[in-house]
């Protein structure tokens, strides 16, 4: 594995642990805040299962922005209906003009929404076929849009097993949309390093991070596993770089927050899952069969249930915000190292 260039000096994450007592919260009555975007002025934007995003101002004032609010999401009453049907905004990115790019895991398409709620479909098929489960969207410094498709299996829940590898990465640029890499085990969040030399991929059911070298034309080469081949309990969901070069990652269902150092070592920063439920998930997952909703629903901790994403914000990017599929607020804490600025920063 090629090592990542780092900032000089010792790694700020060595010896660091998240103190649960030092965690604050922002937002209330949120629905599935899976992905969070932060702006310089302190405004947060979180994906919302009602069909859009929740804008949270620095003073805590909230505004739901959605073309037509959808009330279908209720994991406690009907987990399968909530997760398998209806709109489910998932990954978010800012377009160059500030519009929101939404990877909609429910409608199986890439959508673009203005900050006042006007929405249009950007992409819903590729090569004449439906996209499948659109999970995440990322814009680079050349204004190209990268999209992950987790699976084309229907229902998607059957893809939560250790054997299926039908995920893909799409690129949308001036040439149109095309598949640039496939064969991933439930493709989830993607991130670039500081130089946009490598694209890092969270392979959820692979329990690992894969990276690919980015060529000038957008093609991806030199695919390799980055860091440990098995990141331990849970499955990887969200990833984000800090300025030192550590790749932070969430391990959903075990509710662990970890980081992969530039040398490829793993550091565990927080573990908040239920040990018995996590062990049950691991047994079911290792069987090779789809993991049942009963097993999934039993999993999760108390800080950010079904921990799914990690975002750096604050004026100097030293505040960490956590997104969770079953959380109704956004936990945050101070980081010993600033985040890597995203293209919109």
Asked if 144 and 151 count as a contact pair (C-beta separation under 8 A), the reply is: no
pLDDT in 10s for each residue of the chain, 345 residues: 455 555 678 999 999 999 999 999 999 999 999 999 999 999 999 999 999 999 999 999 999 999 765 565 565 655 555 555 557 899 999 999 999 999 999 999 999 999 999 999 999 999 999 999 999 999 999 999 999 999 999 888 889 888 899 999 999 999 999 999 999 999 999 999 999 999 999 999 999 999 999 999 999 999 999 999 999 999 999 999 999 999 999 999 999 999 999 999 999 999 999 999 999 999 999 999 999 989 999 999 999 999 999 999 999 999 999 999 999 999 999 999 999 999 999
Condensed to tens digits (0 to 9), the pLDDT of residues 213-232 reads 999 999 999 999 999 999 99
What is the widest separation between alpha-carbon atoms in the chain? Answer: 51
* CB-CB contact of 126 with 182 (8 Å): no
Q: How many CA atoms lie within 13 A of 7 on its CB side?
A: 17
Length of the chain: 345
Neighbours of 283 (CB within 10 A): 11
Buried-state track 13-49, b at ≥16 Cβ within 10 A, e below 16: beeeebeeeebeebbeebbbbbbbbbeeeeebbbbbb
With 0-12 / 13-18 / 19 or more C-beta atoms within 10 angstroms meaning exposed / middle / buried, residue 10 is exposed
Digit-coded pLDDT (tens) for 109-133: 999 999 999 999 999 999 999 999 9
The answer for residues whose C-beta is within 8 angstroms of residue 77's C-beta and 6 or more apart is none
DSSP state, residue 282: H
Q: Does an H or E element contain 325, and which? A: none
Sign of the C-alpha dihedral, residues 312, 48, 269, 167?
Answer: negative
- Distance of alpha carbon 13 from alpha carbon 268, whole angstroms: 10
Angle at 190 between CA 184 and CA 192, to 5 degrees: 125
Q: What is the pTM of this model?
A: 0.93
Interior angle at CA 124, CA 118 and CA 128, nearest 5: 150
255 contacts 272 by C-beta, under 8 angstroms: yes
């Amino acid at each position: 594995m090629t090592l990542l260039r780092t900032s000089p000096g010792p790694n700020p994450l060595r010896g660091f642990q998240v103190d649960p007592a030092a965690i604050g919260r922002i937002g209330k009555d949120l629905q599935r805040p899976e992905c969070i975007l932060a702006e310089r002025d302190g405004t947060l934007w979180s994906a919302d299962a009602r069909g859009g995003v929740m804008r949270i101002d620095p003073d805590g004032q909230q505004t739901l922005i959605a073309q037509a609010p959808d009330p279908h999401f209720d994991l406690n009453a009907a987990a399968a209906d909530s997760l398998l049907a209806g709109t489910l905004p998932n990954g978010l990115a800012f377009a160059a003009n500030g519009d929101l790019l939404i990877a909609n895991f429910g409608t199986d398409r890439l959508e673009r929404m203005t900050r006042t709620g006007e929405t249009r479909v950007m992409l819903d098929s590729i090569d004449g076929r439906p996209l499948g489960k659109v999970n995440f969207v990322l814009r680079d410094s050349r204004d190209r849009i990268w999209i992950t498709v987790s699976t084309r299996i229907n229902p998607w829940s059957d893809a939560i097993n250790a054997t299926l590898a039908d995920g893909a990465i799409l690129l949308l640029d001036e040439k149109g949309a095309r598949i640039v890499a496939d064969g991933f085990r439930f493709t989830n969040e993607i991130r670039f390093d500081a130089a946009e030399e490598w694209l890092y991929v969270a392979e959820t059911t692979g329990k690992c991070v894969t990276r690919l070298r980015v060529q000038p034309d957008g093609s991806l080469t030199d695919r390799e596993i980055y860091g440990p081949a098995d990141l331990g309990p849970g499955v990887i969901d969200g990833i984000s770089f800090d300025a030192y070069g550590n790749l932070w990652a969430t391990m959903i269902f075990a509710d662990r927050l970890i980081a992969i150092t530039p040398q490829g070592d793993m550091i565990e920063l927080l573990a908040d899952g239920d040990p018995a439920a996590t062990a049950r998930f691991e047994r079911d997952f290792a069987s090779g069969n789809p993991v049942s909703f009963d097993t999934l629903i039993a999993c999760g901790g108390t800080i950010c249930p079904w921990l799914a994403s990690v975002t750096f914000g604050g004026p100097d990017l030293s505040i960490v915000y956590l997104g969770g599929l079953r959380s109704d607020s956004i936990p945050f804490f101070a980081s010993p190292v600033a985040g890597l600025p995203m293209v919109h920063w």
